[in-house]
């Protein structure tokens, strides 16, 4: 269908829309998408192809055709993205952002519910809970049903439990299905969660509050249950534009479909960059868009302005390995001149891999003049970057982790290191307090009282303090809520202590014993991303395996923390811009760097072992594609032949299956010898 004016009269504007030469300002692919007739449009914008520019000019084009700004609805995933696009629209057309409905799904859901929430029984006085408040109310709701639920340390705490319920709501799946797919550590108690969820919903209604997920769920309910409200929105917003459509979850996709019975939707995205299923994004939304919206016109924007032809040839080969019929065909074409082929590097182990990256990085900075901030080291999971952080810290090269905190500063790593410190030196009260307060109802003062009692009892019996913790006299000082798990806590500390008393002592096995005991159980209940954190703690065990004694390990960790603190100080000052970037691939999406190092490209690390075991690796392949397309000028991919593991030796790695799928003529192989050759 062509654009239809809202009335027979010319549109009334406070000013005329400036004339824009769309053909001159856009390439042919962008121009075709921007100026396409109204109707369902699926714009497949490849990596580095100017997606945001296309979407912004689409809004400007609608305005130039006489569409009033009030009839345009722009849905994005961040308020920052919406503001940037609408600011650019203002520069192009003169229309102020306030004249549009534009923003995140959640912000616009709030706006809709403020207007019409009473239609579905929502109080006009409703307030929105923040994340902490939502977890508190859920905790109260659970305890109203089962006072003892959270006293079992293997049960999820309120935060992880909320994550389970939230993911189920956003994916529109049952709680049981959600647990089995994403939270297998809770399978034994998944049957309890539906009842907890029902009482949480009841508590919210009684208090006239809603949570973040309600902004979507209730908006969709409003549109489905009140035809007059749905008709109002459909009439008012005759043109919907959705950014990053591949990242929509089922709730969001259903909202878009319900808002637009007229099917005038411009969905902009890239199926090859759908990498967020773990937070609810559904690959099927973009794949089935043409089926849900008859006569969809697909526009492909494939001219890439970011990367060299050689990098894009490699990226295209990654996509060619996708199963037939499970993706949209596309081929990135380079607008830049030729460069170097991507490099593949096989290292003996993680340390040699890190040393290679370090030496090559220095050469890039010192000899080739590459800015450190234009060098990124990407990885699939945090634990893969441990050796890289150690190498950079020792070398004194400032680096910035853009996807979290440094390895030894992560909460669970600090917890377990504190446990080791205390067992090794029971007089270390700060280490004791860190682990003791993880017990129910044990605060800092309570931890001090317990430690004092154990110290006195140990002196009286001439026993060590760890053994004294299990005595009746000490247990009498423990809060009632913590007494059920106190014997397990003490026994676990004793097992770690026994491991450290052995000759020779094994710090790696001490870490393993801690994970097999009380702290492993605590970890299961405390964190929704339990499996990822467990992988990181296993990496800590691998790191510990290189030390003959616990004293040497603990001293090295302190020294490394001091070195990373120096690096952090450099980052916070004038040298912040001169820091090398370390980040997970997920966090790097949307960013670009002159040089990219992709480390840990081995089966079991990338794709992850869990993806391999589940038989579902397609999202991992898309993640590989995203990693490759972050590089502008140079791409280095490396993997260790031997993965560090606790105990003797290690585990042999094979190159990632994704790397094996790429024809070898599309990359250069670099071999590491005693002297590095580049």
pLDDT digits (tens, 9 = 90+) for 512-548: 999 999 999 999 999 999 999 999 999 899 889 888 8
Residue 203 marked as a ligand binder: no
Bridge-based pairing of strands 265-269 and 297-301 is unpaired
Report which of 110, 17, 107 is spatially closest to residue 65, judged by C-alpha positions.
Answer: 17
Which listed CATH number (1.10.3720.10, 3.10.129.10, 1.20.1070.10, 3.40.50.300) goes with 28-116+215-301?
Answer: 3.40.50.300
User: What's the pLDDT at 121?
Assistant: 93
Residue 48 marked as a ligand binder: yes
Mean pLDDT of 64-70: 92
Residue 197 marked as a ligand binder: no
Residue 465: is the preceding peptide bond cis (ω within 30°)? no
pLDDT greater than 90 at residue 572: no
Question: Which residues make Cβ contacts (< 8 Å) with residue 44, sequence separation at least 6?
Answer: 269, 270, 271, 298, 299, 300, 301, 328, 330
d(CA 119, CA 113): 9
User: What's the pLDDT at 675?
Assistant: 53
User: What's the pLDDT at 674?
Assistant: 52
Give 362-405 as a 3 state SS string: HHHHHCCCCCHHHEEEEECCHHHHHHHHHHHHHHCCCEEECCCC
Mean pLDDT of 417-440: 94
The two tokens of residue 27 are 């390439």
The two tokens of residue 62 are 């609608």
User: What's the pLDDT at 212?
Assistant: 94
Residue 655: is the preceding peptide bond cis (ω within 30°)? no
User: What's the pLDDT at 503?
Assistant: 65
User: What's the pLDDT at 451?
Assistant: 95
Residue 520 marked as a ligand binder: no
d(CA 438, CA 423): 16
pLDDT band at 586 (very low <50, low <70, confident <90, very high): very high
Bridge-based pairing of strands 239-242 and 72-76 is parallel
- Average pLDDT, rounded, for the chain: 90
Give the whole-number percent of the chain exceeding pLDDT 70: 93
User: What's the pLDDT at 570?
Assistant: 44
Residue predicted with more confidence, 206 or 558? 206
Q: Is 450 helix (H, G, I), strand (E, B) or coil?
A: helix
User: What's the pLDDT at 73?
Assistant: 94
Q: What architecture does CATH give domain 409-557?
A: Orthogonal Bundle (1.10)
Residue 51 marked as a ligand binder: yes
Residue 50 marked as a ligand binder: yes
pTM above 0.85, yes or no: yes
Mean pLDDT of 605-621: 91
Q: Is 521 helix (H, G, I), strand (E, B) or coil?
A: helix
pLDDT band at 7 (very low <50, low <70, confident <90, very high): very low
Mean pLDDT of 628-636: 98
pLDDT band at 5 (very low <50, low <70, confident <90, very high): very low
> Tens digit of pLDDT for each residue in 302-320?
999 999 999 999 999 999 9
d(CA 57, CA 25): 9
User: What's the pLDDT at 307?
Assistant: 97
Give the whole-number percent of the chain exceeding pLDDT 90: 74
User: What's the pLDDT at 461?
Assistant: 81
d(CA 370, CA 364): 6
Residue 49 marked as a ligand binder: yes
Q: Specify whether the CB–CB gap between 43 and 33 falls below 8 A.
A: yes
pLDDT band at 562 (very low <50, low <70, confident <90, very high): low
Q: End-to-end CA distance of the chain: give it in Å, rounded.
A: 57
Residue 159 marked as a ligand binder: no
Question: Which residues make Cβ contacts (< 8 Å) with residue 163, sequence separation at least 6?
Answer: 183, 528
pLDDT band at 573 (very low <50, low <70, confident <90, very high): very low
Write down the CATH number for the domain with range 319-398+578-671: 3.40.50.300
pLDDT greater than 50 at residue 1: no
Alpha helix (H) ranges present in 583-666? Answer: 585-588, 609-614, 618-628, 657-660
> Tens digit of pLDDT for each residue in 262-304?
999 999 999 999 999 988 999 999 999 999 999 999 999 999 9
d(CA 518, CA 485): 8
Mean pLDDT of 235-241: 95
Question: Which residues make Cβ contacts (< 8 Å) with residue 143, sequence separation at least 6?
Answer: 149, 150
pLDDT greater than 70 at residue 53: yes
Strands (E), 38-138: 41-45, 72-76, 101-104, 127-128
User: What's the pLDDT at 6?
Assistant: 38
pLDDT band at 104 (very low <50, low <70, confident <90, very high): very high
User: What's the pLDDT at 518?
Assistant: 95
Residue predicted with more confidence, 184 or 11? 184
Strand partners, 647: none
User: What's the pLDDT at 489?
Assistant: 95
């Amino acid at each position: 269908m062509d654009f239809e004016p809202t009335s027979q009269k010319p549109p009334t504007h406070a000013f005329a829309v400036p004339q824009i030469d769309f053909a001159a300002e856009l390439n042919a692919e962008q121009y075709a998408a921007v100026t396409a007739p109204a109707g369902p449009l699926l714009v497949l914008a490849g990596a580095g192809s100017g997606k945001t520019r296309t979407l912004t000019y689409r809004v400007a084009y609608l305005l130039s055709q006489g569409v009033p700004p009030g009839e345009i609805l722009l849905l994005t995933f961040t308020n920052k993205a919406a503001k940037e696009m609408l600011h650019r629209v203002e520069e192009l057309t003169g229309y102020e952002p306030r004249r549009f409905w534009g923003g995140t799904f959640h912000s616009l859901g709030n706006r809709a519910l403020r207007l019409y929430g009473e239609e579905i029984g929502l109080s006009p006085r409703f307030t929105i809970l923040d994340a902490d408040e939502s977890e508190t109310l859920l905790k109260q709701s659970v305890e109203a049903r089962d006072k003892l639920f959270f006293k079992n340390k293997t049960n999820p705490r309120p935060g992880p439990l909320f994550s389970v319920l939230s993911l189920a709501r956003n994916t529109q799946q049952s709680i049981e299905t959600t647990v089995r797919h994403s939270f297998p550590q809770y399978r034994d108690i998944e049957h309890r969660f539906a009842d907890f969820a029902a009482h949480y919903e009841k508590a919210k209604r009684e208090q006239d509050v809603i949570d973040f997920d309600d902004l979507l769920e209730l908006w969709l309910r409003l549109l489905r249950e009140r035809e007059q409200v749905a008709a109002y929105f459909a009439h008012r917003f005759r043109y919907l534009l959705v950014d990053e459509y591949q990242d929509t979850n089922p709730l969001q996709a259903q909202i878009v479909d319900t808002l637009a019975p007229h099917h005038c939707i411009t969905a902009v995205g890239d199926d090859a960059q759908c990498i967020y299923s773990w937070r609810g994004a559904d690959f099927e939304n973009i794949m089935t868009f043409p089926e849900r919206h008859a006569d969809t016109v697909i526009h492909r924007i494939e001219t890439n302005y970011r990367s060299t032809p050689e990098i894009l040839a490699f990226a295209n080969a990654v996509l060619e390995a996708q199963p037939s019929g499970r993706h949209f065909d596309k081929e990135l074409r380079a607008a830049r001149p030729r460069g170097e082929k991507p490099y593949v590097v096989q290292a003996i182990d993680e340390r040699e891999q890190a040393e290679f990256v370090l030496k090559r990085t220095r050469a890039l900075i010192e000899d080739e003049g590459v800015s450190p901030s234009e060098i990124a080291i990407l990885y699939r999971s945090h634990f893969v970057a441990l050796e890289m952080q150690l190498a950079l810290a020792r070398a004194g090269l400032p680096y910035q982790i853009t996807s979290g905190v440094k390895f030894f500063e992560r909460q669970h790593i600090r917890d377990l290191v504190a446990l080791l410190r205390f067992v090794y030196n029971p007089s270390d009260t700060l280490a004791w307090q860190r682990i003791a307060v993880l017990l129910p109802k044990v605060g800092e003062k309570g931890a001090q009282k317990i430690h004092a009692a154990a110290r006195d009892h140990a002196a009286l019996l001439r026993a060590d303090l760890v053994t004294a913790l299990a005595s009746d006299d000490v247990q009498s000082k423990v809060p009632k809520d913590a007494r059920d798990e106190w014997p397990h806590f003490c026994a676990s500390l004793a097992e770690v202590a026994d491991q450290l008393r052995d000759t020779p002592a094994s710090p790696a096995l001490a870490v393993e014993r801690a994970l097999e005991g009380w702290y492993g159980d605590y970890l299961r209940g405390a964190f929704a991303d339990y499996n990822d954190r467990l992988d990181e703690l296993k990496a800590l065990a691998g790191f510990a395996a290189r030390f003959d004694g616990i004293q040497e390990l603990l001293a090295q960790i302190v020294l490394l923390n001091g070195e990373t603190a120096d690096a952090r100080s450099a980052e916070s000052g004038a040298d912040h811009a001169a820091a090398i970037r370390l980040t997970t691939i997920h966090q790097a999406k949307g960013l670009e760097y002159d040089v990219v190092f992709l480390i840990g490209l081995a089966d079991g690390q990338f794709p992850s072992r869990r993806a391999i075991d589940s038989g579902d690796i397609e999202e991992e392949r898309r993640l590989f594609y995203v990693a490759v397309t972050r590089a502008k000028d140079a791409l280095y991919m490396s993997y260790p032949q031997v993965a560090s593991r606790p105990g003797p030796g290690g585990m042999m790695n094979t190159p990632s299956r994704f790397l094996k799928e790429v024809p070898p003529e599309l990359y250069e192989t670099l071999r590491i010898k005693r002297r590095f050759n580049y």
